[in-house]
Structures are given as structure tokens and as C-alpha cells.
Amino acid sequence: MTMLDQSSAASETPLLDVRDVVQRYTLPRESLFKPAAQVHALNGVTAQVRAGKSLGVVGESGSGKSTFARVLMALERPSSGSVSLLGRDLNQLPADELRRARRDFQMVFQDPYGSLDPRQTIARIVAEPLTALGRIDRGALRERVAAVLRQVGLRDADMDKFPHEFSGGQRQRIAIARALITQPKLIVADEPVSALDVSVQAQVLNLMQDLQDQFGLSYILISHDLAVVDLLCDEIAVMYLGRVVEQGRPEDLFAHGAHPYTRALLDAVPRARAGSGRRRRGAQAIASQSSGTTGCPYASRCALADPHCRATAPALRKVGPGHLAACHYAEAVMALPPVAAEGG
Amino acid sequence: MTVTDTPMIEVSDLGIRLNTSRGPAQAVRGVSFALKRGETLGLVGESGCGKSITALALMGLLPDSAVVSGSVRLDGSELVGLSDANYCKLRGNRISMIFQEPMTALNPMHTIGRQVAEPLRRHTGCSAAEARKEAIALLDRVGLPDAGKRVDAYPHQFSGGQRQRITIAMALACQPDVLIADEPTTALDVTIQGQILDLIADLVEERGMSMILISHDLGVIAENVQRMMVMYGGTVIESGETNAVFTRMGHPYTQGLFRARPRLGAPKGTRLTTIAGTVPELADLPAGCTFADRCAIVEARCRAALPDVVDVGVAHGVRCLRTDVSMATPIGAGT
């Protein structure tokens, strides 16, 4: 697969360098005499993130975005390919070095109810990444916890409370505080606001923006909500069945999306405006993740697909500055009128 | 589509009192609306605003300890105070509901064919064979591929979108007059969401049902219903024709919700306009306007009593004392 931006990637080591990552899962055997079927959750994903920049990953369920997050966090070893943070391949590090390296990359999960242990105090929950790294003086630890709680807009006094005493938005702040306490360079956030109400979602998104400005953090933001990703990220990767089908700056994707799937995703977002009325969408078949299909994986849903698409899978290629797409007809797709932005 | 003058469902001054762990709470106050055949109404609000409780009250599914006041009339007959046995004859028959989570709304132990046929067997007294035939036809109508072959499959063999199609087939089995869809697409991908909403809209039109669509997503509401009500703290704080509300929003909360959404294609670095504070607990709602504690233009009189609804346009009402200030600069998105 093509490199994102050859020149700039060569001049400095990117914060995160993901090369051709493949992740296969074996399905339960259906017959004694046939080999077990495999699911290709990730099918050769390459991405770089420079320090202080953020990458958004969008796609439908089953597109591989959460697998991507787990592989980035070194919670799973990929079937092939490499994930390097600051030039070190995470999957080659010995276990105790990997543990120390985790200081630099932390994760925020989707469900703020499930991701905080209900029987631990906030102080213990937030301090855990630090205590896991080594022994620290209790007083210094509490001071550090108080500092991060203030950074995410909570009070020192919240330290000795339990998770059930907080609302969903506050819990997500606690989860962010826990990720921040090791002063990471990268935070991987898997659907961080999708469980929150709209008014609270805005508060958490603003907080994430502030923290990025303040600490020069990078985010890998995984979301099904294009507007959320657009708000926080410098670059967006659109995934479909384990592949990146389009990647580029948000404005490029919106103004002249080069992959029909990106356009379909954008078009499907309901528009909050008067006179929207009902827009008809064409029926779309749901594609399968199992191996063995040739041609473009999106061909069965694509209005522009022709026999060439069904026979030959398109490679991810450069279609503009910092803009990649995996479509034989990317140029034609880019020439189509842009998908209407949302008014208001 | 036939539109008659008498409303299919008429709710007046609905109030619901619940016993919560923190004592009794007035979950819903003064909700009124009427829907004729073929009309659609959207309920918007955040969690805890009372929209789902309102739906459960219409379905007669509130816990026994709940106290319901006011009136709910289905085609002229009163439902509040109806005995459980009589409610059972209506539920799934004349009034039915599509739930948010298709994973939990279906019973994993029964085939989908049996579940779709169940309301038919229960309410129409048709034979097992007839019900099965009808179930296949329904599954076919909601766009389940190979309905004839897959009727004996179990819910886990289907994807989320397909499961939601199955629950829609269940809800429609007896040709109900009123359909309540409670966040029917929240658990689904955005592309599948579009297909499911299209399907519901087609069926509402085809069968002349009245539909109540509940959603937290202003976009879903804008595209799918004729009229809408915005709920906050158990009261309707703004209601009207969907186009009128979106053209010019009147209540500070509606405006806040609208501005808090991240918008596609907004310039980089835009900060979202947040609503300060959090949704209040039902057990300790403020005395006056339920939004007072979070409102930027609150005055002393707002806290005195629940404000009355003010007409700010044709069929557009706002429960706010300060619409002169809130509506001074237009907020909304016109055509």
C-alpha cells in the first residue's frame, strides 16, 4: 500500500507508524474435512500519525475499526505487519519494556459505565496507569490525581467518590483523566462520545480539543460519527471491510470525496434542517468479511461498479496531495458535485 | 392514505408519577397531542427527559407503582385505567412499538417466524399455518432476504439491521393503527439507519398508521416526521411543525441542542457551543421552568412556576417566558 506522504514521513520519525497490518481470526470449524474459515478483520492497513496531529477512523460496524484500535494498543498481536511508536516496534519489545512503553499511549473506551470499576474510588481508578508503572509515593500520587482531575474539569474532592456518583459525561472525563495521568503522547479513543447525550457530548469534545491544544496530544479517534471526527482530526481514514478505502484531510473528503463509500457515508447522515424531508437511499446489500472474494470489496454496493471492479481489487493510490483512495474511478468520483454540507 | 377528522390517538394533559429509589418523582407533566391517521410526530430529548416513559405509558407498560393522570384516547376510547387484560387485547394489535435494541427485543430461544406470528396467533385467531404464511409475507415486506427459507432461523443468525427489520415485522403483524418507534435506529450504522427509516416511512404511508418516532437525533427528526415535540425534564418545552421549529427555534434548550451538535464540514477548530450543567434527576427537578438551572437567559420569574406555552408562530408553541430574547437572533437552519 502507498505511503501517506512520502516526503514528510521520511524527514522525521512519525509518532505512530502502522505498516501493512493484517489481522486474521479463525472461525469455528464447520466441517472436519475442510480448513476452518478465516475472517480478515484488517487487510493491510498502513497509516502514520505525526506528533500533535490526529487521525480519525470511520466506518460501519464490521469495518475493522475496533480491531485497529486493539492492535494499536498492543492488546493484540497482528497476524502480520508492524506497529511502531516513536520508532520502536511494539510487537518486538520484551514484555516489561512494552509495559513501560505504555506510558506513551493510553486508551479511552466507549462505555463510561463499563470501563470504570464500580468498586474502586476515582483516585485509585485514575492512578492505576501510574501505579502499574512502578511504586510511587502516596502523597505525590494523590497530588498528581488531583491535578489531572482539575485538567478534565472535575474537583479534587471527587477523588474519594465512586463511579456511581457521577453522570455519564463526568465518567467519561474520569476515563480521560486516567488516560492523561501518564502524560501520553497518543490517546486512542474508541467511540468516546457515542454513549453520551448531545449536550454532554459537546462538553467532552471541547475538553478533548483543549487538552490537545494544551499538551500537544495526538488522538486516534474511532467513530461512526463523521461530524465528530471532522471536528477533532487533521486526517480521516475511511475503513471498509478491513481496508482503508480513502484517506485524507477532512475538507478533501467532504469537498471531493474520491471513494463512493465515503460519499455514501456522508450522504446517509441525517441533516438537522427545515425542509430536509425524506431522502431516498438505494437498497444496499451487506457485504461479507470472509476471505475468498476477488475484486473491489465495495463493488456489490457500488452504483458505479463495472466488471473491471468485480475482477480486480483497486489499490490505495494517491489522488491528490495527502489524499489517497482505493477506487479505479477515483477521478470520476471526485468530479461529482460535493455531498451537501450541513447548514446552520 | 385516509385522513379523517377524528384523531387516532389523543393524549391530553398526561402526567406520570414514578417511584424511584430517591422517592416519588413526577416523570412527565402536561403532555398533550393528537395524531390523525397517517400523521407522524417526533419526540426529541436527552436521556431522562421523559420521552420513553411517555411511550411506555401509551403502551400500558409502566410499572404497577406508576401513577398516570390525564387521558389517552385510542380512536375515542380511554386507555388510562384500562385493565391489564383489556390492554393485552390492544398491545401488538392496534398499537405497537419498535424498540431501540433489536438484540434484546427478540427472544433468542424462539425462531423469528414464531415471534412474528405470535401477535397474529394471539389477536386474530388464525391457524398456525396461516400465521406462518402471513409471517413469511411480512418478513418479505420488510426486506428480509429469502424470508421463506429463513423463517425458521434464530435471531443470532441475523445482523443488527436484519434484526431490526424482524422487530418491525412483529410490530406490524396485526396492522396496528398507532406505531411507536423508540430510537429504532440508534443501535445501527448510519447507512443501515437510512434504510430502516425509509422502510418505516413507507409502511406508515402504505397502511395509514399514526407514528410516534422517538429520537435524540435532531437530524433523524428533521427528515422523518411532520410535527415534533422537544421534551426536557418531563415537560414539552417546544412543539410544532418540524419545518417551523427547524426554521426558527424558540426555546433556549432546543437552540442549545441544535448548536451543541458537531456539524459536518464545519470549519476546523470550531468550538461547540455547550449547554452548561447536566440533565437534572427527575427526583429533584427545579420548581419553575425545568431548564432554569442550565439556561443562559434565566430570570427570577422563570423559577417561580412552570411557564405556559407561548405561540410563536402558526402551530408552533414554546414553553418559555423569554422568547422575546431567545428568538431575537434567529437560530435554526432553513431550507
Q: Residue B87 maps to which CATH number? A: 3.40.50.300
Residues contacting B277, CB < 8 A, separation 6+: B293, B294
pLDDT score of A280: 63
Does B217 share its domain with B238?
Answer: no
For chain A, percent of residues with pLDDT exceeding 90: 59
Does B244 share its domain with B202?
Answer: no
Per-residue confidence band for B4, with pLDDT thresholds at 50, 70 and 90:
low
Does B97 share its domain with B236?
Answer: no
- Determine contact, residues B49/B23, Cβ cutoff 8 Å: no
- In degrees and rounded to multiples of 5, residue A186 shows phi and psi of -135, 135
Residue A306's identity, in one-letter code, is D
Across residues A154-174, what is the average pLDDT? Answer: 90
Does B122 share its domain with B258?
Answer: no
Per-residue confidence band for A341, with pLDDT thresholds at 50, 70 and 90:
low
The answer to whether residue A5 scores a pLDDT higher than 50 is no
CA distance A90 to chain B (A): 32
Interface probe, candidates A58, A199, A208, A230, chain B, greatest B C-beta count within 10 A: A199
Does B74 share its domain with B152?
Answer: yes
**For A6-15, A51-60, A253-262, A294-303, which range has the lowest pLDDT when averaged over its residues?**
A6-15
The answer to whether residue B219 scores a pLDDT higher than 50 is yes
Cross-chain CB nearest to A202 (options B217, B223, B272): B272
Does B160 share its domain with B40?
Answer: yes
Does B216 share its domain with B239?
Answer: no
CA distance A155 to chain B (A): 14
Task: Confirm whether B335 is domain-assigned.
Answer: no
Cross-chain CB nearest to B256 (options A199, A201, A206): A199
Does B56 share its domain with B162?
Answer: yes
The pTM of this model reads 0.87
Interface probe, candidates A222, A252, A273, chain B, greatest B C-beta count within 10 A: A273
Q: What pLDDT, in 10s, does the model give residues B279-293?
A: 787 777 888 999 999
Task: For residue B34, list its beta bridge partners.
Answer: B10
Using CA coordinates, name the residue in chain A closest to B185.
A270
Per-residue confidence band for A293, with pLDDT thresholds at 50, 70 and 90:
low
Tally of domains within chain B: 2
- Taking alpha carbons only, the member of A2, A56, A10, A49 closest to residue A318 is A2
The answer to whether residue A8 scores a pLDDT higher than 70 is no
Does B193 share its domain with B89?
Answer: yes
User: Which residues of chain A does B275 touch, with a Cβ-Cβ cutoff of 8 Å?
Assistant: 199, 202
For chain A, percent of residues with pLDDT exceeding 70: 90
Does B187 share its domain with B205?
Answer: yes
Task: Confirm whether B268 is domain-assigned.
Answer: no
- Determine contact, residues A89/A75, Cβ cutoff 8 Å: no
Kindly write down the DSSP assignment for every residue of A234-271, as one continuous string.
Answer: SEEEEEETTEEEEEE-HHHHHHH--SHHHHHHHHHSPP
Task: Confirm whether B302 is domain-assigned.
Answer: yes
Q: What pLDDT, in 10s, does the model give residues A9-42?
A: 445 789 999 999 999 988 888 788 888 888 888 9
Task: Confirm whether B333 is domain-assigned.
Answer: no
How many whole angstroms from its chain centre is CA A321? 22
pLDDT score of B119: 93
Task: Confirm whether B331 is domain-assigned.
Answer: no
pLDDT score of A258: 95
**Cβ–Cβ gap B262/A228 under 8 Å:** yes
Would you tell me which residues 244-273 of chain B have a C-beta closer than 8 angstroms to some C-beta of chain A?
A: 244-247, 256-258, 260-266, 268-273
**Cβ–Cβ gap A274/B272 under 8 Å:** no
Per-residue confidence band for B160, with pLDDT thresholds at 50, 70 and 90:
confident
Q: Can you give the residue range of the structural domain that contains B245?
A: 232-262+273-326
Q: Give B113: exposed, middle or buried? Use CB within 10 Å, 0-12, 13-18, 19+.
A: buried
Would you tell me which residues 26-85 of chain B have a C-beta closer than 8 angstroms to some C-beta of chain A?
A: 46-47
**Cβ–Cβ gap B242/A274 under 8 Å:** yes
Looking at every residue in chain B, the average pLDDT score rounds to 90
**For A256-270, B2-16, B233-247, which range has the lowest pLDDT when averaged over its residues?**
B2-16
**Which helix (H) or strand (E) element contains residue B163?**
helix B160-172
What is each CA distance from B270 to A49, A56, A232, A339, B93, in whole angstroms? 22, 17, 9, 20, 49
Across residues A84-105, what is the average pLDDT? Answer: 93
Across residues A145-171, what is the average pLDDT? Answer: 91
Per-residue confidence band for A6, with pLDDT thresholds at 50, 70 and 90:
very low
Task: Confirm whether B267 is domain-assigned.
Answer: no
Q: State the ipTM, two decimals.
A: 0.82
Q: What pLDDT, in 10s, does the model give residues A177-223?
A: 999 999 999 999 999 988 888 888 898 999 999 999 999 999 999 98
N residues, chain B: 335
For chain B, percent of residues with pLDDT exceeding 90: 68
The answer to whether residue A344 scores a pLDDT higher than 60 is no
**For A48-52, A196-200, A208-212, B215-219, which range has the lowest pLDDT when averaged over its residues?**
A196-200
Task: Confirm whether B24 is domain-assigned.
Answer: yes
Does B84 share its domain with B154?
Answer: yes
Per-residue confidence band for A281, with pLDDT thresholds at 50, 70 and 90:
low
Per-residue confidence band for B278, with pLDDT thresholds at 50, 70 and 90:
confident
User: Which residues of chain B does A277 touch, with a Cβ-Cβ cutoff of 8 Å?
Assistant: 223
Per-residue confidence band for A1, with pLDDT thresholds at 50, 70 and 90:
very low
Does B205 share its domain with B121?
Answer: yes
The answer to whether residue B3 scores a pLDDT higher than 70 is no
Per-residue confidence band for B127, with pLDDT thresholds at 50, 70 and 90:
very high
CA distance A150 to chain B (A): 16
Task: Confirm whether B160 is domain-assigned.
Answer: yes
Across residues A131-152, what is the average pLDDT? Answer: 91
Per-residue confidence band for B1, with pLDDT thresholds at 50, 70 and 90:
very low
